[in-house]
Amino acid sequence: MEFFSWAMTTNYIPYIISITALLLLLEQISYLKKKRFLPGPTLVVPFLGNVISMVTNTTKFWEIQSSYAKSTPLGISANYLIGHYIVYIYSSDLSHKIFANVRPDAFHLVGHPFGKKLFGEHNLIYMFGQEHKDLRRRIAPNFTPRALQTYTNIQQRIIIKHLKSWCDKSRGNSIPLRILSRDMNLETSQTVFVGPYLNEEARKRFNTDYNFFNVGLMALPIDLPGFAFRNARLAVERLVQTLAGCAEESEKKMKAGEEPTCLIDFWMSENLRELSEKPFEYSYREFGGHLFDFLFASQDASTSSLLWAITLLDSHPHVLERVRKEVANYWVPENDAVITGEHLREMKYTEAVAREVVRIRAPATLVPHVAGVDFQLTENYVVPKGTIVFPSVFDSSFQGFPEPDQFDPDRFMEREEDRVYKKNFLAFGAGPHQCVGQRYAINHLMLFIAMFSTMVDFKRDRTDGCDEIAYVPTIVPKDDCRVFLSQRCTRFPSLD
């Protein structure tokens, strides 16, 4: 009997091998049919595609994909990742075409190639049409001058606290700033968004879960126990639940007529005002999900920009000196005063520096979308339904601008290149999903540049390749921005 079973099994082996080979061949043919004349690898590993090279050396993977796209006048290239056909967009014009066509019958913004599994289905970045417009309208009061001033007061207290800590840690030694900067930004985001509603224990859990999420973003999308992607997905669920609780507490406070002290208060206050005029349905869970969207959008992108600001100011001392002179006209740390919104509006050069940092090192280099239908992208090429499309805002930043590889804040001053080459400045996106919090992001970067430059003397601990780009998942200096720090001002201000 055992021999008979073995013989039967052996007889099936050639069929199994043949069927497997046929499926792999069909997969390869499907990829080549979709790819057509686009540049990109001709042969891909079955199912996995080139995901291993993307995960093990993300920087090199996207550099190669960009070089493929630049090799053709169309400015697009193709590849294959874990059963998904992908198209990479180098051309600014084609990136705009994608951003302008985010709708059910065209492209769906996903934020991450496997974002729906991580963030959930009902999410700001997945919304379309009137529902999306209504939500953005309700979000708008979160970024009025009054709200932004409330946030800048919070941001400055936290920046001062962390800069003092960084100088204490350095003490003649160079220290890497990536994790320290991320921790500062996480505290900033938590406090600005939901500050009064998180106790110390909740903040610790929040930090732990956000770290799980960050690790999962760069991991293989294997949703099984013990894998980083599963840990990230579960962490997001816990984070959203925590933020939902903050929304509920904020609603009670705003109903009692108290003044807003953080973003969720401004949002909830506007929500209650609109409800009194025209009732609509909402849930705390929805608020929690949208707050997490804000956290995701602001946290790692801001960390990236702060680190690149330090590296670029260090390598351009004349820019640093101009920033210090401008800031001194409006703010002196020893006076224990805050930098106001009016001050920020007057600091034209510091804002130009911030915008040039974002241009030359766009933190979120790619903005993944999924084609909901076959879409005519160019006269000769149709993007097949289900394709993950990657418009590169990083590549766009080097198109059009004169001497684009040069760090030159003056391009945003008298030359007004942000207006002349507006279509190529895509760090905050374009179209219906353009970043609603970009003024907040620029303010935060300006505050950090102004305060860091004024209160700290710094010098990069330069090594070979230290300023090369690394993905984590936003881009950062390869050495995690290792710097010598010391206190520059006679004392750190007290804003309590």
The string of DSSP codes covering 241-254 is: HHHHHHHHHHHHHH
Structure tokens, 223: 């949703």
Question: How far is residue 331's CA from residue 16's CA, in Å, rounded to a whole number?
Answer: 74
Q: What does the longest C-alpha to C-alpha distance in the chain come to?
A: 93
H helix or E strand, kind and range, residue 408: none
> Any idea where the domains of the chain sit in the sequence?
1-121+365-396
The third-level CATH classification (topology) of the domain covering 1-121+365-396 is 3.30.43
Structure tokens, 363: 């933190």
H helix or E strand, kind and range, residue 148: helix 145-170
Write out pLDDT tens, residues 470-496: 998 889 999 999 999 999 999 998 876
Q: What residues are designated binding site for heme? A: 435
Query: Across the 496 residues of the chain, what is the mean pLDDT of every consecutive 10-residue run?
Result: 50 62 70 91 83 87 95 94 92 95 90 70 75 85 92 95 96 95 93 90 86 79 83 89 93 94 93 86 86 82 96 97 97 91 95 97 92 95 96 95 96 88 91 87 96 97 94 92 96 82
Instruction: Say how many CA atoms lie within 13 Å of 192 toward its Cβ.
Output: 32
Structure tokens, 329: 């006209």
In this structure, which amino acid lies at residue 466? Answer: C
The sign of the CA dihedral 143, 327, 360, 51 is negative
Question: How far is residue 2's CA from residue 21's CA, in Å, rounded to a whole number?
Answer: 29
pLDDT at 369: 92
pLDDT at 6: 47
Structure tokens, 73: 């006048």
In this structure, which amino acid lies at residue 321? Answer: E
Q: Which residues pair with 107 in a beta bridge?
A: 102, 371
Burial class (CB in 10 A: 0-12, 13-18, 19+), 14: exposed
> How long, in residues, is the chain?
496
DSSP annotation of 292 reads H
Structure tokens, 477: 């200096």
3-state SS record for 441-458: HHHHHHHHHHHHHHHEEE
Structure tokens, 305: 């920009």
If one counts every other C-beta atom within 10 angstroms of the C-beta of residue 39, the result is: 19
Q: What residues are designated binding site? A: 435
Question: How far is residue 100's CA from residue 97's CA, in Å, rounded to a whole number?
Answer: 5
pTM: 0.90
Evaluate whether 397 touches 360 at the Cβ level (below 8 Å): yes
Residue 305, SS3 per DSSP: helix
Listed residue (179, 187, 295, 219) closest to 52, CA to CA: 219
pLDDT at 336: 85
Question: How far is residue 417's CA from residue 397's CA, in Å, rounded to a whole number?
Answer: 11
Evaluate whether 136 touches 294 at the Cβ level (below 8 Å): no
Q: Is the peptide bond before 141 cis (omega within 30 degrees of 0)?
A: no
pLDDT at 307: 97
pLDDT at 361: 97
Helix/strand number for the chain, H first, E second: 18, 12
Phi-psi region of 463 (alpha: psi -120 to 50; beta: other; left: phi over 0): beta
- DSSP3 helix / strand / coil % (the chain, rounded to 5): 60, 10, 30
pLDDT at 53: 87
Structure tokens, 66: 């960009």
Which segments of 329-437 does DSSP mark as H helices, in order? 341-346, 348-360, 393-396, 417-420
pLDDT at 496: 67
Contacts of 292 (CB under 8 A, 6+ apart): 119, 236, 239, 240, 243
Alpha-carbon radius of gyration of the chain: 25
Place of tokens 């009670």: 252
Question: How far is residue 119's CA from residue 297's CA, in Å, rounded to a whole number?
Answer: 12
